[in-house]
Structure 1
């Protein structure tokens, strides 16, 4: 089943306001300004940089996705950052040569096809290095998932930081999920971790839902793992302390 294109995760990517909201000149100015895909390329990031650090760097802007790029299993010091509105690219460019820690960060305009090429390269990079660079599991671990006991709970890893419960429901749209069946794991400061736990109607459904393992949600491929209510409670309970 094809997933929702990444642009459609934010209504700003594919919808233009009705011309009735603008006079002709105003509408044409908006159209010219909004034409580009709202993405920048970042260079010079510290090698211990995380996605959360990039979110913090662009604090106050509507960051939709952060893609850290790797070469031969090592972080390259570069990333792509997608925003919810084209005008925010202009704001992000004002962060050029601002510091992150002791590093001066360069921010460049980028394009939609460059971002998607980077996504494809990153997926290929992760696939090529999975058996060579710990702590990535060896390829056989994906097969071993079939041998794990199902209790009706799945753990999701690799979610976009902007993902909502509605996005998860759409990801599992063949199953009758409710928002209360989805628990996101967040860091102690409230930032998203990219993980969540989903409770299905029973072990049979959670096993069937494993067919969505490594499928795309936006620009991310999502890893699924059989889990349990106890593991979910521990993971989501820690964030409340």
Structure 2
């Protein structure tokens, strides 16, 4: 996984929302009312008639090969609205902001403090709306200043730029990463509307529990089409900017077999 700019208030919404907008439109706990978010569900009653806390946490100590799926598994059972990895000078800092579905989930997430992700223990902190906004603004600024510096060997999988992308041989298959969890095949067809793609050419990846992973494989009519479609790399689908990678029919078939 979302409608552009609903977390943004005032001028911030116009600047940040144009690049990264991170909320699921269908989230039953929120609806837009002007520039604020209001609960449509009476739960939790403790917040009725009071300012709604912004449900965001900060994770620190993440492995440098961390992906969104790793964070989702670490926070298994939580309603995750957004995961924003923090980079410094183009390199992953080991930190991320995670926006949750309800303020009460922040308290629950703090109970995961110092639990392990792989071999590393992760620190979980309560964060603030403005800290998240600042992180989004920094990401926008970095994207305007051009691609980050070349990565070291342990650069994260979640990094959204790869200097080698232009050099990879195309076979007609692209891998998509960073999709909204609510994305459908119709959304992907619309994203690639300049190309002739049918639902049969799209594989949406799910995990062992049947939940969307934010990844998909798309087969194009030709290698030339898949290469041309790379112009869409880092463009937004709904609320998320999408990473594109050249793939192969074999990789797509292997991924599809894991869905069965």
> Would you call these one fold, judging by a TM-score over 0.5?
yes
User: Are the counterparts in 2 of residues 73 and 133 from structure 1 also a CA contact under 8 Å?
Assistant: no
User: Are the counterparts in 2 of residues 52 and 191 from structure 1 also a CA contact under 8 Å?
Assistant: no
What residue is the counterpart of 1:41 in the other structure?
A: 57
Q: Where does structure 2 lack aligned partners over 5 or more consecutive residues?
A: 5-20, 34-39, 156-160
Counterparts in 2 of 1:9 and 1:172: CA distance versus 1, 3 Å: farther
Q: 1:42: how far off? A: 0.9
| Distance of 1:160 and 1:126 partners within structure 2 | 24
Counterparts in 2 of 1:232 and 1:212: CA distance versus 1, 3 Å: same
Q: CA RMSD in A?
A: 4.1
Q: 1:179: how far off? A: 3.2
- Paired residue secondary structure (1:143): helix
What residue is the counterpart of 1:133 in the other structure?
A: 152
Q: Where does structure 1 lack aligned partners over 5 or more consecutive residues?
A: none
Question: What are the equivalent positions in structure 2 for 1:79-90 lying under 5 Å apart?
Answer: 79-83=96-100, 85=101, 88-90=102-104
Q: Tell me if 1:106 matches 2:121.
A: no
What residue is the counterpart of 2:215 in the other structure?
A: 195
User: Are the counterparts in 2 of residues 8 and 14 from structure 1 also a CA contact under 8 Å?
Assistant: no
| Distance of 1:116 and 1:95 partners within structure 2 | 21
Equivalent residue for 1:206, pick from 223, 226, 230: 226
| Distance of 1:229 and 1:50 partners within structure 2 | 23
The structure with the largest alpha-carbon Rg is 1
Q: Tell me if 1:60 matches 2:80.
A: no
How many residues are aligned here? 217
What residue is the counterpart of 1:236 in the other structure?
A: 256
| Distance of 2:203 and 2:56 partners within structure 1 | 31
| Distance of 1:205 and 1:57 partners within structure 2 | 37
Equivalent residue for 2:166, pick from 126, 138, 143: 143
